[in-house]
Structure 1
Amino acid sequence: MADPTAVSFKRDLSDWRIALVAWRLLVLQAADPVVGAGMTEHSTYRAHPWRRIEHTLGSGRRLFYQDAEALRREVARLDRAHKRVRGTTPDGRPYDARDAATRVWVLLTLFECVVAMRSLGGDRYDAEQLELVYGEFREAIAAFGLPEEELPKSAVDLPSYFARYAREKLEFNEAARYLLDGILREAPRPGRLWFLGDAGWRVTRGLVARVIRELTVADLPPVVRERFGLVATRRGALLSVLLHRGAGAVVPLLPDRLRYRSPEGQRPPRRYRPMRRDARGPRVDRFFREVLDQTGDGYITAHDLRAMAHNVCWQLDLDEAAEARVYEAFDGWWEQLRAVMDADGDGRVGREEFTAATLAGCDRGEAYLEQGLLPALRAVFTAADTDGSGFLEFDEYRAVFGGPRVHPAELSHGFRQLDTDGDGRITVEEFLRGFTEFFTARADSTSGAQLLGRP
Structure 2
Amino acid sequence: MAEHGGASFRRDLSEWRIVLVAWRLLVLQAADPVVSAGMAEHSTYRAHPWRRVEHTLGSGRRLFYQDAEALRREVARLERAHKRIRGTGPDGRPYDAGDAATRAWVLLTLFEGVVAMRRLGGDRYDAGELARAYAEFREAVAVFDLPKGEIPETVGELPAYFARYARERLEHTEAARHLLDDLLREAPAPRRLRFLGDAGWRVVRVVVARAIRELTVADLPPAVRERFGLVRTRRAALLSAVLHRGAGAVVPLLPDRLRYRSPEEHRAPKRHRPHRDGRGPRLDRFFHEVLDQTGDGFITAHDLRAMAHNVCWQLELDEAGEARVYEAFDSWWEQLRAVMDANGDGKVSREEFVAATLAGLDRDEAYLERGLLPALRAVFTAADTDGSGFLEFDEYRAVFGGPRVHPAELSHGFRRLDADGDGRITREEFLAGFTGFFTARADSVPGTELLGRP
TM score, norm. by length of structure 2: 0.95
SS in 2 for 1:87: strand
Task: Report if aligned partners of 1:46, 1:295 keep a CA contact under 8 Å in 2.
Answer: yes
1:107: Cα distance to partner? Answer: 0.5
Structure 2 counterpart of 1:364: 365
Superimposed CA distance per residue, residues 171-205 of structure 1 (whole angstroms, 9 cap, x where no aligned partner): 00111001000100000111111121111000010
1:417: Cα distance to partner? Answer: 1.3
1:227: Cα distance to partner? Answer: 0.7
1:436: Cα distance to partner? Answer: 1.9
Superimposed CA distance per residue, residues 195-225 of structure 1 (whole angstroms, 9 cap, x where no aligned partner): 2111100001011011001100000000110
Structure 2 counterpart of 1:410: 409
TM-align CA RMSD: 1.8
Structure 2 counterpart of 1:256: 256
1:92: Cα distance to partner? Answer: 2.1
Task: Report if aligned partners of 1:329, 1:375 keep a CA contact under 8 Å in 2.
Answer: yes
Say if 2:217 is the partner of 1:217.
Answer: yes
Of all paired residues, the percent bearing the same amino acid is 78
Structure 2 counterpart of 1:94: 94
Structure 2 counterpart of 1:206: 206
Structure 1 counterpart of 2:419: 420
Task: Report if aligned partners of 1:86, 1:97 keep a CA contact under 8 Å in 2.
Answer: yes
Structure 1 counterpart of 2:305: 306
Seen in structure 2, the aligned counterparts of structure 1 residues 432 and 8 have a Cα distance that, compared at 3 Å, is: farther
Give runs of aligned pairs for residues 323-402 of structure 1, distance below 5 A. 323-362=322-361, 363-365=364-366, 366-367=368-369, 368-380=371-383, 382-383=384-385, 385=386, 390-394=389-393, 397-398=396-397, 401-402=400-401
Which whole-Å CA distance do the structure 2 matches of 1:346 and 1:171 have between them? 30
Structure 2 counterpart of 1:45: 45
Structure 2 counterpart of 1:184: 184
Give runs of aligned pairs for residues 119-138 of structure 1, distance below 5 A. 119-138=119-138
Give runs of aligned pairs for residues 53-132 of structure 1, distance below 5 A. 53-132=53-132
Superimposed CA distance per residue, residues 318-370 of structure 1 (whole angstroms, 9 cap, x where no aligned partner): 11110111111111111122222223322111111111112233453431223
1:139: Cα distance to partner? Answer: 1.1
What is the letter of the counterpart of residue 365 of structure 2? R
Which whole-Å CA distance do the structure 2 matches of 1:344 and 1:303 have between them? 18
SS in 2 for 1:95: strand
Which whole-Å CA distance do the structure 1 matches of 2:375 and 2:398 have between them? 23
Superimposed CA distance per residue, residues 39-85 of structure 1 (whole angstroms, 9 cap, x where no aligned partner): 11221111111011011111111211222222112111111111111
Which whole-Å CA distance do the structure 2 matches of 1:374 and 1:395 have between them? 18
What is the letter of the counterpart of residue 192 of structure 1? R
Structure 2 counterpart of 1:297: 296
Query: Which moved further from structure 2: 168-177 or 334-343?
Result: 334-343
Seen in structure 2, the aligned counterparts of structure 1 residues 358 and 40 have a Cα distance that, compared at 3 Å, is: same
1:401: Cα distance to partner? Answer: 4.2
Which whole-Å CA distance do the structure 1 matches of 2:110 and 2:230 have between them? 22
1:283: Cα distance to partner? Answer: 1.2
Seen in structure 2, the aligned counterparts of structure 1 residues 404 and 340 have a Cα distance that, compared at 3 Å, is: closer
What is the letter of the counterpart of residue 152 of structure 1? P
Which whole-Å CA distance do the structure 2 matches of 1:312 and 1:247 have between them? 35
Task: Report if aligned partners of 1:316, 1:400 keep a CA contact under 8 Å in 2.
Answer: no
Query: Which moved further from structure 2: 429-438 or 241-250?
Result: 429-438
Seen in structure 2, the aligned counterparts of structure 1 residues 228 and 392 have a Cα distance that, compared at 3 Å, is: same
1:95: Cα distance to partner? Answer: 0.9
Say if 2:162 is the partner of 1:159.
Answer: no
Which whole-Å CA distance do the structure 2 matches of 1:219 and 1:431 have between them? 49
What is the letter of the counterpart of residue 378 of structure 1? T
Task: Report if aligned partners of 1:24, 1:220 keep a CA contact under 8 Å in 2.
Answer: yes
1:253: Cα distance to partner? Answer: 0.3
1:432: Cα distance to partner? Answer: 2.8
1:451: Cα distance to partner? Answer: 1.4
1:398: Cα distance to partner? Answer: 4.4
Which whole-Å CA distance do the structure 2 matches of 1:447 and 1:454 have between them? 10
Task: Report if aligned partners of 2:405, 2:451 keep a CA contact under 8 Å in 1.
Answer: no
Superimposed CA distance per residue, residues 409-454 of structure 1 (whole angstroms, 9 cap, x where no aligned partner): 2122111111112233322322232212111223211111111222
Which whole-Å CA distance do the structure 2 matches of 1:314 and 1:355 have between them? 29
Give runs of aligned pairs for residues 241-252 of structure 1, distance below 5 A. 241-252=241-252
Task: Report if aligned partners of 1:277, 1:444 keep a CA contact under 8 Å in 2.
Answer: no
Which whole-Å CA distance do the structure 2 matches of 1:188 and 1:91 have between them? 29
Seen in structure 2, the aligned counterparts of structure 1 residues 48 and 321 have a Cα distance that, compared at 3 Å, is: same
What residue ranges of structure 1 are gaps of 5+ in the alignment? Answer: none
Structure 2 counterpart of 1:439: 438
What residue ranges of structure 2 are gaps of 5+ in the alignment? Answer: none
